[in-house]
Structure 1
Amino acid sequence: MVKLDLTRDFDVQLLHDMIDNPFCLYVHFAPPCGTSSRARLIQATAHDPEPCRDDTFPDGLPDLPDLLAQRVAAANRLYGVTAAALKRAVLAGKLVSCENPLNSFMWQTTAWRQGTSGLSLREAVFDHCCYGGNRPKHTLWVHNVPAFDQLNLTCPGESASHKHLPWGRVSKFRYATSEETAYPLGLCKAVAALLLEELCQRGFQLPARSLSDEVRQQHRAAQVSLGYQPRGKKVAPMVVVVVTSDHDFLPASAKLPVAVPVPPSASCDPPLPELPMGSRILRRVALGGGETPRSEPSSQPSSRNPGNPNCPVEQFASVCLQQKTILADDVIQLFQLLKSDRLARGAGLDDEFSWSTGAYAQGGVTGVRANLHGATRDILVAYTTNHTDRLTADQTAELQCAKHPRLMSSGVPPELQQTIDFLASEGMHAVGASRTEALRQWLGRAAELDEQERVYKETLPKHCAKTLGKKRLLLFGEMIEAAGHNDPSLVADMSKGFALGGPIPYCPEFRAKRTAATMAVDDLRGSAQRMRKGILNSTKSSGDDVVDAETYRVTLDEVERGWLDGPLKESDLGASSLLTRRFGVVQNNKTRPIDNYLESGLNATSSSYDTITVHTADCIASGLARRLRADAKCRLHQLLLKSWDLHKAYKNLPLSLEALEDSFLCVYDPKGKCPRIFRQKVLPFGSRHSVHAFCRVSLGIWKVLVVLFLCHINVYFDDFVGVELAPLARLFDIGVCLVFRLLGWDVAEDKESVFDSCAKVLGLKFDLSESRLGRITLCNTESRRDEIFEALSDILSSGYLPQKDGERIRGRLQFAENQIAGKIAGTAYKQLSRFVLRGGGHLDECTRVALLRLRDRVNFSPPRVICANILTTMHLYVDASCEGDNVGLGGVLVNEVGSKMGFFSERASEHVRRRMNPESGNPIFEYECLAILVGLRLWAPLIRSTNLVVFTDNEGALACMVAGISSNKYGEVIAQHVHVLCDELGLNIWFERVNTCSNVADAPSRGSKDPELGKEFTIDLDTLVDHAFESWGL
């Protein structure tokens, strides 16, 4: 969220930038009514707000008090800005809308009328009470979205089921109008649904509704492909059902008491003949419009609306509709027949929901409105039924072919997928020959371009030419073009240097994500001298002499390398030159200089249309898993891994000439005991622009390696991680190093590694020693484990944890936990989070136990295992019933061809009921969790080393199992046992919700033992519950 003051030119420009953004599809305006409210004309008491406008003076009454006149003038300026921005959006092809009360004077102001002149806009009029509001607030919605015509829905009047709150004063200093400024939730849902409908009709790709659709975010797709289930709603459900109808055929309840046939007038996706009993209505949206919505001003007669003979307003309006021309006198007479607070109304009968007539007046234009068929439209969203007896033959076949989510998502970039598939399908000789030919081709091309490269660099700014001296820019440009890399301006941007502030250049290869600036570059430069004094005064010793000395030494080393100029005097800086403070951070026993562009304000001036793409550890692991599954040669030859780290990566790219005025830095000189000023000529570490710029370049290099040289390789900022079979590893290494050298990039010699079955990458240890058996493991490196162990031990010894240190250790623990199998540390991590959020301090006993458990977890728990041998998918349906003392648990195991392999139907004894949260009056949540544990324990021999999808109809149990934690201690203990058991059985488990009506385990949970469910299995429930709870002291 960005707060803008549209009376400031810079903020208006930011708004225009947002509108011009190619990823901006829709813009909605809702200028405050304030001075334009007709409620000000009602002067019931001496304390009521003064009128500001009337129909004669819509731009403001003459002789207003100074303060009120200033408010009216400011409002008029805002209306002008709104109108101009709306017109800009329309001309740019965006979908737009603007809202204000129907009788607001804003529509008549000169600023609005002139600003929107020439635009062909549609209109929708509705009452807020029709969408769940408390009062019949009449609203005009001006737009260019055809789907919004369906918003027309006017109030039929009060009835037994439809009541209004009164207008007027609600407290001494508060009026009812202030309570109606927020949109009702029903209106928000309707607008969102209609906007999606319009975008869909225009060919836009909507967000995934199910896991069978593409998972857009690469890191989420990688997690799903590895069988890791994110918490909450970060990924879509496996399947959904959407039902749309132009009339309300569903009951008002949230759960269908009986099966409801889907009428011909309704659409259902996927098609179902009926909605089974028990289906839950998760979302319902009421929309106006219907068969023939009419939103534009119209004077066409309507034979369907003769007017109610008992309503003078409608009789008169019906006569007006027969005329070819509507006169101003007609409108005035109609206004006199209407109440002042309602400009359009029907007869007000309870059964009259289909149409209304009336008049409108807007901006000097008058007309008569006909609103036909204002019926509601309901949208039902529910999970598809998985009960095979209730599905058609095609749907049953689709269910039987359902895959585990890890097989429904790749998580591997498409270019790398194609390369992996090529490596899997071709022999090693063919792969080696292809790479050798590519190297020969581009080596020859590099020689041909040598003279052109020299001439091209002579045209560059001197500091750019010096920084890029070793780079073959023209060759790189041809390579990325041949590789199909969609970043046409990359080489040109490298050549002229990159900026440090303002808009970040758009890269089509990155994922779209709008980030707005919060400050203008010119505003920042305007305060440069004042800020400079503060930054110089704050540049002091860190308190660590070693860090201070090393930071300054590295700075002088950068001067010798030509990356910095200096030391300089303060007088060498221009009036608008910006200064940034440099400080040192110790990482892995090395001091790294960081330039604080957040403090200097330059990062606040950065805006972007996208976010960088890097390949996380999950993405690397996902590529390894795909290679193991696709390439049969991995079973014959050892799979190896190696990483390359580009040397001084950011220092290989120059700043632009304009950025040189923003690149001054000051660093503490420990000998002189004062700050020293330098000027950077290359990308600094700490700037948003630097990260974006370098990642564009590294992604281009990665694309070249993958597409042109057929390398299975990933990139994470300046780290490249390659994977290859042992016989091809040497050629792979030579090829990658040659490409780096060809493009002028050096590899860090101090981080040089060799192809090996075990490699340390991104602070993790990848173990490929069992790759021929289809297994790969990931774990934290020994140094990371030792570092966390030492940090936690120090905290436990001191008995004190400050909040800032707690946030730091919590983040390190979270990263480390992701590389460990299972989720049994969730309880301890939750306790640590609570302690930190409370402000930290002296450790209490619960937090001390949690830290001990986390320390043991990081050091002694098993690593993550990626196994390509798990090919079998099974579904486990579980349910519980709890009616007083009659408690039942049921489960059904279904294989991947849809055959029911068996079921269990257990009654909870009195002993079990006493153990299962005796304080709860209805512990259905605990029993739903227990049913999952029973199913896993009972069928452990059958489900071992499979892809297992567990279906439950209890949302609480689902969330508990996914997260591994719960606020309910009994459910949490069961979840912990479930995850321990999953680790022991080597399960790739996924938890999913199923409707109660579609849950085949519902009948067994109620004691039914149908032979069609397969063989009955039994378990000693008392012993299972005792074992689960005794280990946790329950």
Structure 2
Amino acid sequence: MGLTQSIGIDAHVTKQVKSPVIRINLAEETGQTLLWRILQNDNIAAVHMGPPCGTSSRAREIKHKRRYNPPPLHSTAHPDGLCTLTGASLEKVRAANRLYLLCSQVMEWATANGIIASIENPLRSHAWATSYMQNWATATEVEYPHQLCQAWAQCLYRCFLSLGAIESPQELVPNSDISLVQASKVATGTQPRGKKLKPLMREYDYFLTIQGPQCVLTELPTKCNSDTPVPTTCTTSPHSSYIPAQAKRIKLPYQVGEKAEFDRWETVYGIAWTPQAFIARAAGRSHPGHFLDGVHPVLKSMFDSGANKSLSCRAKERSEQMRKWITRASELARGVEDGKGDSPCHAKAILAKKNLKLFEEMISASGSPDIGLAKDVARGFNLMGDIPTGSIYPDRPSYATLLPEQVRRMADVARPAIWEAAKKIMDPEVAVEVHRITLEERDKGWLRGPFAPQDLPKEAILTRRFGVKQSSTLSDGSRTMKVRPTDDFSESLVNSTNSCAESIQPMAVDSILATMVYRDRSWGHEKLTGKTIDLRKAYKNLPLATEALGDAYLCVMNPETGEPEAFQTLVLPFGARAAVMGFCRTSYALWRIGVSLFGLHWTVFFDDYFLVASELEERHVDMAQRLLFQILGWETSSEKEAEFRSISKILGVQIDLSDSKAGQLTSAEMRVLRGRLIFAESQIFGRLSGLHMQNLSRWEHAVGAAPIDAGLKVSLMFLRDRVVRGEPRTVDSGIGKVFHLYTDACYENGQGGLGGVLYNELGEMLSYFSAHVTEAQAARLNPLGKDTIIFELEALAALTGTTLLLHSAAISPADRIVVFLDNDGVLGRIISGRSGLGLDGQIIQGILEWEQSLRSVVWYERVPSAANIADLPSREILDGFDVNLQIDIDV
């Protein structure tokens, strides 16, 4: 429906919920405070309330024999609760009444602010008669039935449309609300699993709306097997005298109009595609990678504006910007204005090398909407409460489940527990290194301490610090191990107080590759080189606000004394949600300044930048990025920063640009353990590892230690060989041919049929096959004696079509293929790469091996059964098919 950010709020959350639910007890004052904070978000469009009905139920007045009868708690004379209530019954009624009062307040607020609101309770419930509602047998509540949820959602949807809302697209379209992360995956040839993306083609050709009397509309069929005349008492939009065959009712009849006395009802049918119409429109849509580029709009604007400019012209513009900002930095250095006038003393010391006035001016010149960032940096960042944002990331709200004052009130009790937990050392070497780094940070003025527990303020929040071993790539390409101190602000509940309107969107490997593809198509083939830039002690460059210092005590084990110590951090800690957003806003600002002002082709992933340049411009580009960091007072890690090379490493991935002049880019990663295998697998071509990764997932959730069985050993050996020997994923910027393959199967009376039809990008048929599956052949496909083998036949049709009509020798890496199937089970198994263990698994495995041999980007898509042209040859109906295009096969 497009309402993708809808959330629920409840004190009890079950596993059966179908949308995100936040666990908040609204009967408590703190829970209601959190609710009102959520309701203040600008994107609130509707509120639905379902207060408890158990205490107010009239069913308590019904007496049943031979079973417990819950006592009545309300009556018509006493709707707010009986005067005789005591104990638990009284508390239940009071809690319910608090919720009724809250509902009436929310309803009044929503009405005043033009927000759609509704309250649900049984019609005869005493809740409606309470004084709280007048103002505007069970203790366990039941969940809404699924059909009730659907009906309510449709009512809400129609209400939004009547108020001018734009209907959510039913298919993948350019410039939709698809995230940059998903778009970059599509652009580089990776098909996301599940329903993270809209389908390439919508399910129905169009919708037919029918209005008429209720009794007439309810008599219309749910699905039309043939053309069905529209009753004369009805009207249609668009105009039609009949409902076409294969149409399906998608909305039950509902009353329309403001006056209920008019018998005017409405229902909607989805009209199926004809095969010819589906083929024609699918041909026009080509392939998802052709209209989703996955490039950030700021970078895209730079590439588009530079498409008609020479290399020297772009360099001249970059030089002009460099001179302009060097001059401005010098002017500000001679003056007294540095943007830190309101900074607290500890922040001024941390920001000593930075001119925030210059930073503010460059942010504004870059066109970034985050114009308040420089002032936020000057004041310092808070750790608890609402996290400030800059309108630079997608709107994806997250909400607090605790109030800051709640956490501070509990701090005096929580500190001893965290102090004791810090004494448990898992790895002595890591503990020594964490303590050494902590003392080093103190000596640099980033921390204060150490403090004993009795020296801490009463409401001081203590957070445990621990170490994580990480491998790092040096400038010469070698790997080294280091320990990164991490502060567990989730354990201390600080992170539970955070609400944030935006979700960080880092630019990962797919984003890097997508920008290179777009550059190649915009600026032509160049010999590209790349380098990685890492901000030095990134989080330590940004201070905390004065108000946050009491929330920022770290508990660190001293291995020499065997006792923990407390330190107060003055800078952003690594492990706090608010710190991550504060830093990412800053690193984004640096990135955007580089793109918009200095014309740098680079991406940012938290504190890692990947800079790309052609061989002819790399020295000039390198000079620009160094100048940018220098005048803004940021240092980069010299041990990580290398010169421009055709092979660069970032985020654990090796990016090879040696073939970039031919329009190709390659990325690969070597790992052997599951956590990194998942990431490494995404950088290796094909989907063959799905089943083996599934085996590792099952093993990961096993309880206790167990010997490695034969199945796990096979999976581990396969993954080892695949990671070590598998060909890296190649992203080709060229645009070759597009092929659309349709396959289908049928199974009736113990026999079956297979069919497949291949089209080019113009919707012209290239070839097809049609095959009959005899009873004997069907029996071979059914060793377990199942009632139906339609799954196996559908998979076999796809295998036959791919290997027979799309031979790898005839396909180039730049070509794009879309395979259309109408069996969701087969489609899901192919996309996930989880082939299975039986005969059907062997067939799916054959499709994956075909894709592996192809070296081209294959996209698998659903086609509605009524629109699948391959249905005809699967039933040996070949009227209208050119016999010269038929390919004979032997089942």
**1:50-69 alignment runs, 5 A limit:** 50-65=71-86, 67-69=88-90
C-alpha distance after superposition, 1:677-703 (max 9, x if no partner): 211100111111111110011111111
Q: Please say if residues 740 and 818 of structure 2, whose CA atoms lie closer than 8 Å, have aligned partners that are also in contact.
A: yes
Q: How far off its partner does 1:67 sit?
A: 4.8
The amino acid that maps onto 1:475 is L
Aligned to 1:22: 42
C-alpha distance after superposition, 1:84-139 (max 9, x if no partner): 1232333343221112222333223222233x2xxxxxxxxxxxxxxxxxxxxxxx
How far apart, CA to CA, are the structure 1 residues paired with 2:701 and 2:453?
A: 43
Unaligned runs of 5+ in 1: 117-173, 295-369, 789-808, 1023-1034
SS in 2 for 1:630: helix
Q: How far off its partner does 1:714 sit?
A: 0.8
Q: Please say if residues 664 and 677 of structure 1, whose CA atoms lie closer than 8 Å, have aligned partners that are also in contact.
A: yes
Q: How far off its partner does 1:254 sit?
A: 6.7
TM-score normalised according to structure 2 size: 0.90
SS in 2 for 1:506: coil
Taking a change above 3 Å as real, the CA distance of residues 568 and 950 of structure 1, as seen in their structure-2 partners, is: same
Aligned to 2:263: 373
Measured on the aligned residues, the alpha-carbon RMSD in Å equals 2.7
With 737-746 and 970-979 compared, the bigger mean Cα shift is at 970-979
Structure 2 counterpart of 1:238, from 185, 200, 215: 200
**1:334-349 alignment runs, 5 A limit:** none
Q: Please say if residues 744 and 822 of structure 2, whose CA atoms lie closer than 8 Å, have aligned partners that are also in contact.
A: yes
Aligned to 2:594: 705
C-alpha distance after superposition, 1:549-600 (max 9, x if no partner): 2111111111111111112233331111111111121111111111111222
Mapped pair 1:725 → 2:690: no
Q: Please say if residues 52 and 60 of structure 1, whose CA atoms lie closer than 8 Å, have aligned partners that are also in contact.
A: yes
Q: Please say if residues 657 and 665 of structure 2, whose CA atoms lie closer than 8 Å, have aligned partners that are also in contact.
A: yes
How far apart, CA to CA, are the structure 1 residues paired with 2:503 and 2:73?
A: 47
Aligned to 2:13: none
C-alpha distance after superposition, 1:314-344 (max 9, x if no partner): xxxxxxxxxxxxxxxxxxxxxxxxxxxxxxx
Mapped pair 1:661 → 2:574: no
Q: Please say if residues 211 and 264 of structure 2, whose CA atoms lie closer than 8 Å, have aligned partners that are also in contact.
A: no
Taking a change above 3 Å as real, the CA distance of residues 886 and 40 of structure 1, as seen in their structure-2 partners, is: closer
Aligned to 1:891: 756
Aligned to 1:210: 171
How far apart, CA to CA, are the structure 2 residues paired with 1:933 and 1:1003?
A: 18
Q: How far off its partner does 1:475 sit?
A: 1.4
Q: Please say if residues 751 and 778 of structure 2, whose CA atoms lie closer than 8 Å, have aligned partners that are also in contact.
A: no
How far apart, CA to CA, are the structure 2 residues paired with 1:456 and 1:891?
A: 68
SS in 2 for 1:59: coil
Q: Please say if residues 231 and 962 of structure 1, whose CA atoms lie closer than 8 Å, have aligned partners that are also in contact.
A: yes
Aligned to 2:187: 225
How far apart, CA to CA, are the structure 2 residues paired with 1:545 and 1:105?
A: 64
Taking a change above 3 Å as real, the CA distance of residues 185 and 446 of structure 1, as seen in their structure-2 partners, is: same
The amino acid that maps onto 1:896 is E
Q: How far off its partner does 1:223 sit?
A: 1.3
TM-score normalised according to structure 1 size: 0.78
Based on CA coordinates, which of the two structures has the bigger radius of gyration? 1
With 929-938 and 490-499 compared, the bigger mean Cα shift is at 929-938
How far apart, CA to CA, are the structure 1 residues paired with 2:873 and 2:308?
A: 48
Mapped pair 1:438 → 2:321: yes
Structure 2 counterpart of 1:901, from 743, 766, 769: 766
Mapped pair 1:110 → 2:158: no
Mapped pair 1:927 → 2:831: no
Q: Please say if residues 705 and 711 of structure 1, whose CA atoms lie closer than 8 Å, have aligned partners that are also in contact.
A: yes
Structure 1 counterpart of 2:687, from 794, 799, 823: 823
The amino acid that maps onto 2:115 is K
The amino acid that maps onto 2:27 is T
Aligned to 2:109: 88
**1:124-135 alignment runs, 5 A limit:** none
Aligned length: 847
Structure 2 counterpart of 1:715, from 599, 604, 626: 604
Q: How far off its partner does 1:72 sit?
A: 3.0
Taking a change above 3 Å as real, the CA distance of residues 981 and 251 of structure 1, as seen in their structure-2 partners, is: farther
With 223-232 and 693-702 compared, the bigger mean Cα shift is at 223-232
Taking a change above 3 Å as real, the CA distance of residues 1014 and 618 of structure 1, as seen in their structure-2 partners, is: farther
Q: How far off its partner does 1:779 sit?
A: 0.6
C-alpha distance after superposition, 1:396-444 (max 9, x if no partner): 7644422201112121111111112223331111111111111112222
Q: Please say if residues 903 and 1014 of structure 1, whose CA atoms lie closer than 8 Å, have aligned partners that are also in contact.
A: no
Aligned to 1:187: 148
With 196-205 and 561-570 compared, the bigger mean Cα shift is at 196-205
Taking a change above 3 Å as real, the CA distance of residues 978 and 215 of structure 1, as seen in their structure-2 partners, is: farther
C-alpha distance after superposition, 1:864-900 (max 9, x if no partner): 0111223211111111122235322111111111211
Mapped pair 1:286 → 2:252: yes
How far apart, CA to CA, are the structure 1 residues paired with 2:519 and 2:218?
A: 49
Q: How far off its partner does 1:262 sit?
A: 7.5
Q: How far off its partner does 1:75 sit?
A: 2.5
Aligned to 2:854: 985
With 556-565 and 29-38 compared, the bigger mean Cα shift is at 29-38
Q: Please say if residues 283 and 740 of structure 2, whose CA atoms lie closer than 8 Å, have aligned partners that are also in contact.
A: no
With 823-832 and 200-209 compared, the bigger mean Cα shift is at 200-209
**1:462-481 alignment runs, 5 A limit:** 462-481=345-364
Q: How far off its partner does 1:1013 sit?
A: 4.2
Unaligned runs of 5+ in 2: 1-20, 472-480
How far apart, CA to CA, are the structure 2 residues paired with 1:597 and 1:64?
A: 44
Q: How far off its partner does 1:862 sit?
A: 0.7
Greater RCO between the two (CA within 8 Å, min separation 6)? 2
The amino acid that maps onto 2:537 is K
How far apart, CA to CA, are the structure 2 residues paired with 1:250 and 1:396?
A: 34
C-alpha distance after superposition, 1:1002-1030 (max 9, x if no partner): 111112334544633435435xxxxxxxx
With 858-867 and 5-14 compared, the bigger mean Cα shift is at 5-14
Q: How far off its partner does 1:373 sit?
A: 2.9
Mapped pair 1:857 → 2:757: no
Aligned to 1:37: 57
Mapped pair 1:832 → 2:696: yes
Aligned to 1:582: 465
Structure 2 counterpart of 1:973, from 842, 866, 891: 842
How far apart, CA to CA, are the structure 1 residues paired with 2:167 and 2:695?
A: 39
How far apart, CA to CA, are the structure 2 residues paired with 1:489 and 1:880?
A: 60
How far apart, CA to CA, are the structure 1 residues paired with 2:455 and 2:270?
A: 66
Aligned to 1:495: 378
The amino acid that maps onto 1:37 is S
SS in 1 for 2:573: coil
The amino acid that maps onto 1:734 is M
Q: How far off its partner does 1:488 sit?
A: 2.7
**1:306-325 alignment runs, 5 A limit:** none
Mapped pair 1:958 → 2:827: yes
Aligned to 1:13: 33
The amino acid that maps onto 1:630 is S
Q: Please say if residues 215 and 221 of structure 1, whose CA atoms lie closer than 8 Å, have aligned partners that are also in contact.
A: no
Structure 1 counterpart of 2:275, from 370, 387, 398: 387
**1:252-271 alignment runs, 5 A limit:** 256-260=224-228, 265-267=235-237
**1:788-807 alignment runs, 5 A limit:** 788=672
How far apart, CA to CA, are the structure 2 residues paired with 1:734 and 1:1014?
A: 65
SS in 1 for 2:643: coil
The amino acid that maps onto 2:461 is L
SS in 2 for 1:100: coil
The amino acid that maps onto 1:599 is E
Q: Please say if residues 338 and 355 of structure 2, whose CA atoms lie closer than 8 Å, have aligned partners that are also in contact.
A: no
**1:388-403 alignment runs, 5 A limit:** 388=276, 391=277, 398-403=281-286
How far apart, CA to CA, are the structure 1 residues paired with 2:126 and 2:793?
A: 61
SS in 1 for 2:93: helix
Mapped pair 1:646 → 2:545: no
How far apart, CA to CA, are the structure 2 residues paired with 1:744 and 1:731?
A: 20
